[in-house]
Amino acid sequence: MKKVRTRIPPSPTGMFHVGSLRTALFDYLFAKKTGGDFLLRIEDTDRERLVAGATENIVESLYWAHIPPDEGVMLSDKNEIVQSGDVGPYIQSERLDIYKIYSEQLLEQGDAYYCFCTKERLDDLRKMQELNKQPTGYDGQCKTLSKEVVKEKRDAGTSHVVRLNMPDEGVTTWNDMVRGEVSFENKLIDDQVLMKADGFPTYHLAVIVDDHLMNITHIFRGEEWLSSTPKHIVLYHMFGWDIPEYAHLSLLVNEKKQKLSKRHGDVSVFDFTKKGYLPEAMVNFVAFLGWNPGTDQEIFTLEELVAAFDFKNVHKSPAVFNYEKLDWYNKEWMKKLPVEELAVRVKPFFVDSGVDAGRLEDQTFFEGVVRLGRERANTLQDIVSNTQFLFADTLEYETELLKWKKSDLKSAKEKLTQISEFLSTMSDGEWSEEGVEHSVLAWIKNKDYGVGDVLWPTRVALSGQQFSPGPFEIMSVLGKEKSLARIGEGIARITT
């Protein structure tokens, strides 16, 4: 058996899409499961659609997700983009000479022909076909040009492309790993352009030449490529090459069953990294877009995914990208990570938020912040927004907020003063969430105060917020000194 080799060949035309991440993940899982290789190739032959920085974004997204390629376009130890492997280059614009050789072979074999039709003619042709309700496509006018005419036109420097001489008869069939047997009638397939007038190959020629020369055994891609596959298989036959296995993965849709698109929400991996989704959660969630393990298990590490992944459980029905489910995965993974690790992941988000960097150096304080912030957070970004009040020098809030239900500010002041006195008698050793909670509740009971009468103003004085974590959690993170200072500020606000 040949060594399994899979590839992700994105075009650098924008930010790496979550759909491409799903394909790359399936490539990765399948390669790792079978002891094979996973390659990254950059398909940049469509020069008009290139976007600066897109290649970097593709590479970084794969490394972020912990599914780096084994070969192809990679990151060096110094985080620079490099190419590595025996069958490169792995960037198509650096392989133009190679495509030329194969295009010439097809021309010689009569499997391709020169086409000199102008854009105007092709536009008119399409308009006519549309008007007559005929399928659109090239009508083959240049297919029958004599060798002499072709030579004459080429010698005269007439702009031209090279087209696939698609057979008019027969059926092209393959056994898709997801869809089973798929067939297309050859006569319905267009004479695809293989080489453009600018000397660049089209996707169709470049992809098959590269997949063949790079010894790719399995091709996984989105179902939008389904109608391209018969053209590719015909080309493989023309060259006499082994045909790889194909799996066309289902479309990603949103809950309204619309194709996932930028217009309706986040779609690039970068959108999600920026908001603070963990790679573990993203990969776990994305694995379930079209696949399931056949059991109830939902949380999977990457290693567990490698072990469990099987194309038998990949489905062809559209996969719904449920943003709430992604939040659930992220929450689960934020709980699952040790707090020290979560602190490392969330730190850059705190730095970006502009909090005093010095405070982040105090490890005990910072881990306390993270532990408290993750309770009500879906994302790393939420941890930051949930805990901004812990970093504030002074809290901004309406004094009225200190008032508990039907009680008044006078009572709030009295309770705050008393609890402050009580808390100041506690030793540093007793100052933990449980320690403070235990002592304060006993004190309240002893005084026969209402719990809300004491804890509401205390919590507001500590957080400055209507809704926040509980007072004991906050006090344990802030420490005694800071907690007393905030309660003191609360008391000072009340002038009645």
Q: Which residues are annotated as a binding site for ATP?
A: 262
* Comparison of 118 and 175: residue with beta carbon closer to ligand GLU: 175
* Residues within window 350-389 making contact with ligand GLU, judged by CB under 6 A: none
What residues are paired with 37 via a beta bridge? 5
Note whether 27 binds ligand GLU by CB under 6 A: no
Q: From the CB of residue 277, how many other CB atoms can be counted at a distance below 10 Å? A: 24
Single out the segment in contact with ligand GLU by CB under 6 A; choices: 9-17, 62-70, 171-179, 271-279.
9-17
For strands 171-176 and 193-195, give the pairing: unpaired
* Comparison of 17 and 493: residue with beta carbon closer to ligand GLU: 17
Note whether 9 binds ligand GLU by CB under 6 A: yes
d(CA 37, CA 69): 8
- Ranges of H-type helices in 34-79: 54-64
d(CA 163, CA 115): 7
Note whether 69 binds ligand GLU by CB under 6 A: no
Binding residues: 262
Using Cβ positions, the residue closest to ligand GLU within the complex turns out to be 221
Note whether 236 binds ligand GLU by CB under 6 A: no
Q: Which of 3, 127, 151, 262 is catalytic?
A: 262
Q: Judged by CB under 6 A, which of 32, 160, 221, 231 binds ligand GLU?
A: 221
262 is catalytic: yes
For the bound state, the minimum distance from the C-beta of residue 21 to ligand GLU, rounded and expressed in Å, comes to: 12
Single out the segment in contact with ligand GLU by CB under 6 A; choices: 7-15, 101-109, 352-360, 436-444.
7-15
Whether the CB-CB separation of 395 and 464 falls below 8 Å is answered with yes
| Dihedral angle over CA of 120, 121, 122, 123, nearest 10 | 50
Element of type H or E holding 176: strand 171-176
Q: Judged by CB under 6 A, which of 10, 36, 244, 373 binds ligand GLU?
A: 10
For strands 81-84 and 71-75, give the pairing: antiparallel
Element of type H or E holding 271: helix 269-275
Q: Judged by CB under 6 A, which of 4, 6, 11, 402 binds ligand GLU?
A: 11
Q: Judged by CB under 6 A, which of 63, 225, 239, 443 binds ligand GLU?
A: 225
Q: Judged by CB under 6 A, which of 4, 6, 36, 43 binds ligand GLU?
A: 43
d(CA 462, CA 387): 12
Q: Amino acid letter at 246?
A: Y
* Comparison of 42 and 342: residue with beta carbon closer to ligand GLU: 42
* Comparison of 244 and 471: residue with beta carbon closer to ligand GLU: 244
Note whether 207 binds ligand GLU by CB under 6 A: yes
Which tokens hold the place of 20? Answer: 């491409």
Q: How many residues bind ligand GLU (CB under 6 A)?
A: 8
* Comparison of 202 and 378: residue with beta carbon closer to ligand GLU: 202
For strands 161-164 and 112-115, give the pairing: antiparallel
For the bound state, the minimum distance from the C-beta of residue 29 to ligand GLU, rounded and expressed in Å, comes to: 16
Half-sphere CA count of 165, side-chain side, radius 13 A = 16
Residue 52 burial class via C-beta count within 10 angstroms: exposed 0-12, middle 13-18, buried 19 and up: exposed
Q: What share of the chain is helix, strand, coil (3-state, %, to 5)?
A: 55, 10, 35
* Comparison of 16 and 113: residue with beta carbon closer to ligand GLU: 16
Catalytic residues: 262
Q: Which residues bind ligand GLU (CB under 6 A)?
A: 9-11, 43, 203, 207, 221, 225
